[in-house]
Chains A and B, each alone.
Chain A
């Protein structure tokens, strides 16, 4: 943009020298900008590179000095030794709890968000503010009473207790995200449907929600990722090892038995990160196609 500004400026430029100096200084700025970005990228990605690198080393090379960034004797040994029944069980638990929470929080959130977006409810803003504020509520404070409730309801040591916990800590975000999306959908579509005699439920489930697929997807992913990360409920509401989700399971068993086998711990870390990484990579495409498809149809 600066080039244009200078060229169209009213003052005639002393052309030869200053143009060269200008170009050089621009080049220097551009170079230092690129260098800065590459440097910060290197620092930010170093932990991830180091994790992946360590996971492919035999244990003997893990402690080599100076450290090897590219494994000299690459091996997948650290991965294959991890395939125990217990880790598989943790993965399964996390997937089940994550999926159920995603469905429940997104479903309940979408219905409430639609109502908040479309109907002139008294105290609508207060409700939204409450949802936003509830994000900051101390989770351990909630857990104390939830624990007492779950003891009485017999929900300790079950998926249901975990799903409820993960649902309520994500529901506020789902409502906000989906309400913003519904606010942008033209209300005329629904009005036309009502004129044609469609019921409110039919309009919501067959017309509005299908249009909201990308937002529903984003909401579900958010819940799943939060659930995948969550440690406290998994530690507290579950007492048997086989019911624990990944974070709680790992911190209760793998880390307590851990004896400096860093390649194995890094292989475990890579495996725990991978589903989320894939989810985001795949999701970006679905999300974009969903948005554009909706725009074309609308």
Chain B
């Protein structure tokens, strides 16, 4: 098995940058102290923690104490939604979100709805997966305490009009959260320009390690902690700080954001080649998500006459790692909730394919993958 392998699933996760690994390593064995300890070991760890928090804060144009490190992007989403909902339950019980959010959002608001008496409005999206800010405005009631709209969609790459939504939310005095997990490595994270009050990030989407996330919480935003215990993270997230991973988070975010323009220019060009080449080679294939306002490395399609899982499996056997775009359980044929919300019929949605490029991909990778995708689709089409 010495054929070429190409990783085209960067929306699922990315390889950790070697520079990030190098930055993390001393904090496992040398500066291993507990950041809360008074002695020099603790201080060395605390130095890594403080520096990392400052680095992240600078990139977000935020204050260091507005950054809460968490265990992952999902935890950040959970803390934002539940934390705000519980803190403001005396003021109102209404939350606005969209049907195309990650399950970390969808399942959390569903639980707030079913177990804790909150009301949730899921504002529909258009065929490209774009939320209409006017519809958000119309959904607001006197009870509305929180609006949560993702920055960029994981399945179809569409970038949402955050600033416009933020304007609406700010004007009405409603808190605005965004799940920026997919956007973290590629888009502007200036919380003031975006106008967000809370923003979730996860390191492994931008060449950092898994198991570390962050939540930006604007000063003054009330938040009931989910993990209670010691006073870490200013009481917003108890538990001994995971210093090596926090250092890795900051290092990875810094590298990604410093080289953002260059990376995005290159990835967008590769993606356009991938999209054009695939639409040319595969009869009936359709690009899903917004054609222009989408993540730079993100290409997603529906391909008639094939089943997404089977395509992914055939591609894997031929050395190309891809995904259907939905986090469905293996072997089940539940169509994607995102494509359903965008108006795709279950039969169309079953042919979903997501190819997401990352910074180590080359033009040769794209050429090779196009040939493999065409071959796999043609063979599978003959069997159905």
Say whether A and B bind each other: no
